């Protein structure tokens, strides 16, 4: 019997591609579901950090959650009280909601959106840890009006952030991260300055034309609101902070682009 020896260069070789098909920041070889953008990989360490934080999911929009807060407190306040604003602030707490990693949140848009953003921008979790907001509520539905804000902080330092675009995408993650950094900066501002003092910076409290309590009905009205909104000192500070945090991310992503495998995950904080 003749033994035939196959040359090494004829033998099949394993080919590994350092691809991230679903764009969740984890290469396919390390991703449990590389084709499913809804399944976002986070490390065990990151999961433990999130479990310790007061991050909750809502099936509603920010507007609906605001209405529910009002419904819960409207009978607890004296509307004739000259200092009713102080009284409102003292009762402005959101209702009980499931934790973002709980079984009740499983399959929700809020959970998918939050984990998708964190897998790409893990600095979000670190910023929540530093800002120490009373709560972070991630909503599943977009605002009912396109001119409504997609992020908001209550007088009690409860941060609300909702969907920024109609679909889960890279654009969604980027806008969500920017909005989260923006609102977390407001939470820090409220830690040092009472809400009743801080809100006086806005045009409504300076007897100007723009009414921030009124929803803009046209693009012209919306532009008018935004033009004055971005000049409010606390808003300028939050906008600048959000931009700086996103720049920091891009500075870290440069070495990430050259790295491979575990080194990539280490840079992004996934391991």
User: Which residue did the predictor score with more confidence, 115 or 206?
Assistant: 115
Give the best-scoring range by mean pLDDT among 17-26, 97-106, 161-170, 192-201: 97-106
Token pair listed for 124: 């979000």
> Is 74 contained in some domain?
yes
Q: Give the global pTM.
A: 0.75
Predicted local confidence at residue 254, as pLDDT? 54
Domain membership of residue 11 (yes or no) is no
In a domain, 267, yes or no: no
Residue 34 is part of which domain span? 27-261
Q: Is the pLDDT score of 270 beyond 80? A: no
> Looking at the domain assignment, is residue 51 inside a domain?
yes
In a domain, 219, yes or no: yes
Q: Residue 5 domain-assigned? A: no
Give the residue-averaged pLDDT of 170-183: 96
The answer, yes or no, to whether residue 76 has pLDDT greater than 80, is yes
Task: For residue 199, name the pLDDT band (cuts at 50, 70, 90).
Answer: confident
Q: Is 82 part of a structural domain of the chain?
A: yes
Q: Would residue 4 count as lying in a domain?
A: no
- Lowest-confidence segment of 58-67, 74-83, 229-238, 250-259 by average pLDDT: 250-259
Tally of domains in the chain: 1
The residue among 172, 150, 170, 149 whose CA lies nearest residue 161 is: 150
Q: Are 196 and 85 in contact (CB under 8 A)?
A: yes
């Amino acid at each position: 019997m003749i033994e035939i020896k196959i040359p090494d260069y004829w033998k099949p070789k394993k080919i590994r591609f350092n691809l991230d098909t679903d764009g969740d920041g984890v290469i396919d070889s390390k991703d449990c579901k590389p084709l499913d953008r809804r399944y976002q990989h986070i490390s065990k360490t990151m999961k433990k950090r999130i479990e310790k934080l007061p991050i909750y999911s809502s099936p509603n929009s920010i507007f609906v959650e605001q209405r529910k807060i009002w419904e819960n407190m409207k009978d607890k306040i004296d509307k004739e009280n000259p200092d009713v604003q102080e009284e409102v602030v003292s009762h402005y707490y959101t209702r009980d909601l499931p934790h973002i990693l709980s079984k009740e949140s499983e399959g929700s848009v809020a959970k998918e959106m939050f984990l998708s953003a964190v897998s790409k921008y893990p600095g979000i979790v670190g910023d929540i840890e530093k800002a120490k907001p009373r709560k972070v509520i991630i909503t599943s539905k977009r605002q009912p009006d396109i001119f409504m804000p997609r992020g908001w902080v209550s007088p009690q330092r409860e941060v609300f952030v909702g969907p920024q675009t109609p679909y889960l995408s890279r654009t969604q993650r980027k806008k969500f991260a920017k909005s989260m950094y923006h609102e977390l900066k407001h939470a820090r501002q409220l830690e040092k300055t009472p809400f009743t003092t801080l809100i006086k910076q806005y045009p409504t409290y300076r007897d100007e034309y723009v009414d921030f309590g009124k929803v803009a009905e046209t693009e012209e009205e919306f532009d008018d609101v935004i033009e004055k909104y971005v000049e409010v000192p606390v808003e300028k500070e939050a906008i600048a902070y959000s931009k700086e945090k996103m720049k920091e991310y891009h500075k870290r992503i440069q070495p990430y682009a050259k790295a491979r495998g575990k080194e990539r995950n280490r840079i992004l904080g996934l391991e």
